[in-house]
Chain A
Amino acid sequence: MTLSPDDWEVIRLSLKVALVGVFLTLPVAFALAFILARWRFPGRIVLDALVHLPLVLPPVVTGWVLLILFGRTGPIGFWLDRFFGVTLMFRWTGAALAAAVMALPLMVRAMRLSIEAVDPRLEGAARTLGAGRWRTFATIVLPLSLPGVWAGLVLGFARSIGEFGATISFVSNIPGQTRTLPIAIYTALQLPDGEAHVARLAGVSVALSLGALVASEWLVRRQSGRAHVL
């Protein structure tokens, strides 16, 4: 089983899209997780629902919404293009955005659970010991919720690397720009005698997902020695 230079290009692109998508989402997801876990405000349920939308919508619909918002004439895309000269359409950055949006709910859920598990009384103890709000957050809340951050990263990565529907309807299927692994597999399936090619790419896909899973197990195990056992 050998991979062609084109296949390597697909793998490289998929990793780039998934990693950039996930790491850009990380701070946003953590902030949303924290807000949903700790703050009580009117509209919280609406925010919660919005965050979860990409999880329940058909991905193709999510991609279409992105197309409307970020297209060249869309309300966000227009301004991005005009003031920053940034276009997401048919670019790998658009694929990364689609991956990020699809990964967001899974990442928020994992992180939120772990933030909710942090005992607020420990934060009170830190405050009486002279730590302000920010130091309390950085030295107590953040380290104690790290297992959820790892879990969220891995889930988000796995979701991103498998992203198909939103990506193809938002940024289409452009070799070298938006043809990620699932889209390449789909393309190969359309060709006569593409079978062997599909099998090779599917193998890579399985290997990447398993790799992410093993990495997360390892991270959580390394963490659990200290982080989430009281």
Chain B
Amino acid sequence: MSFRVTVEKRLGEAEIAVSFRSDAGLTALFGPSGSGKTSILNMIAGLLTPDRGRIAVGGELLFGDGVDRPPEDRHAGYVFQDGRLFPHLKVRANLLYGARRGPGRLGLDEVVELLGLRSLLDRWPRTLSGGEAQRVAIGRALLSAPHFLLLDEPLASLDRARADEIMTMIERVRDELGLPILYVSHNRAEVDRLAARVVEISR
């Protein structure tokens, strides 16, 4: 029931055509850079409109058959590769930006605990290290009461120790929250460690 995705999209010269279904807790989209993995996430999140196709996540139809829900109604917890924290808001306000969507499974305290964010709450995003920013981005997504998570290379900008730490957190989220997770990566080791099901994308 997790992901039912069939999309086609032409972006300039590139043509993305992918179809997969997965019932695993964590599904990995694996492939080289430039193969359109991020575009697929954007289509699932509603930031990019497919030329045609059908997208359903957790039994909810998001796109296709005349349906095209706007991003704010898709309840995606999207963690972008570059974090995309709001530079004019402190960490606490960033974390709570999506929290008014209603009570999620986690409250601020639990997320802060889970991701070790206590000491960061009053900092500005620009003062955070790459790993700290990525943890805040994950926390912000979790607090928006998501129905599923989209993680776009969340470890790409991190050193090994940090990456390991974040991976452990992702495993906890996967096992403790039971949210369908779609995880984009071009790193075989990450994918083998985290994913129960791997979708390979080729160029």
Residue of A128, A131, A132 touching B76 (CB-CB under 8 A)? A128
A128-B76, A130-B101, A131-B72 known; A227 and B88 CB under 8 Å? yes
Interface residues on B, range: 20 to 34
Complex-state Cα separation, A144 to B87, whole angstroms = 8
Binds A, one of B6-14, B28-36, B78-86: B78-86
A226 B70 Cβ-Cβ under 8 A: no
Is A124's CB within 8 Å of the partner chain B?
yes
> Which of chain A's residues have a CB closer than 8 A to the CB of B88?
143-144, 226-227
Is A206's CB within 8 Å of the partner chain B?
no
A121-B80, A229-B126 known; A129 and B45 CB under 8 Å? no
B144 A121 Cβ-Cβ under 8 A: no
In the complex, which of the residues A122, A128, A230 has the most CB atoms of chain B within 10 Å of its own CB atom?
Answer: A128
B45 A128 Cβ-Cβ under 8 A: yes
Distance (whole angstroms) from the CB of A122 to the closest CB of chain B: 6
B100 A130 Cβ-Cβ under 8 A: yes
Complex-state Cα separation, A139 to B47, whole angstroms = 18
Complex-state Cα separation, A130 to B96, whole angstroms = 11
Complex-state Cα separation, A230 to B125, whole angstroms = 8
Type the 1/0 row for A78-122, where 1 means its CB is closer than 8 Å to any CB of B: 000000000000000000000000000000000000000001011
Distance (whole angstroms) from the CB of B3 to the closest CB of chain A: 17
Is B135's CB within 8 Å of the partner chain A?
no
A132 B80 Cβ-Cβ under 8 A: no
Distance (whole angstroms) from the CB of B139 to the closest CB of chain A: 12
Complex-state Cα separation, A126 to B97, whole angstroms = 8
Complex-state Cα separation, A230 to B127, whole angstroms = 9
B78 A128 Cβ-Cβ under 8 A: yes
Question: A129: nearest residue on chain B (CB-CB)?
Answer: B98
Question: B143: nearest residue on chain A (CB-CB)?
Answer: A129
Type the 1/0 row for A199-230, where 1 means its CB is closer than 8 Å to any CB of B: 00000000000000000000000000011011
Complex-state Cα separation, A130 to B45, whole angstroms = 11
> Which of chain A's residues have a CB closer than 8 A to the CB of B71?
124, 127-128
Distance (whole angstroms) from the CB of A49 to the closest CB of chain B: 31
A226-B124, A229-B126 known; A127 and B46 CB under 8 Å? yes
Question: A146: nearest residue on chain B (CB-CB)?
Answer: B88
> Which of chain B's residues have a CB closer than 8 A to the CB of A227?
87-88
- List residues of chain B with CB under 8 Å of any chain A CB: 42, 45-47, 70-72, 74-78, 80, 82, 84, 86-88, 97-98, 100-101, 124-126, 140-141, 144-145
12 other A-B residue contacts (CB within 8 Å) besides A125-B84, A130-B101, A226-B87: A119-B84, A121-B84, A122-B84, A124-B47, A128-B144, A129-B72, A129-B97, A130-B144, A130-B145, A131-B72, A131-B97, A132-B70
3 smallest CB-CB distances across A and B, nearest first, come from A129-B98, A127-B71, A130-B101
A-B contact pairs, 29 of them (CB 8 A): A121-B82, A121-B84, A122-B84, A122-B87, A124-B84, A125-B84, A126-B86, A127-B47, A127-B72, A128-B45, A128-B47, A128-B76, A128-B78, A128-B144, A129-B97, A129-B144, A130-B75, A130-B98, A130-B100, A130-B144, A131-B72, A131-B97, A139-B97, A140-B86, A144-B87, A226-B87, A229-B87, A230-B87, A230-B125
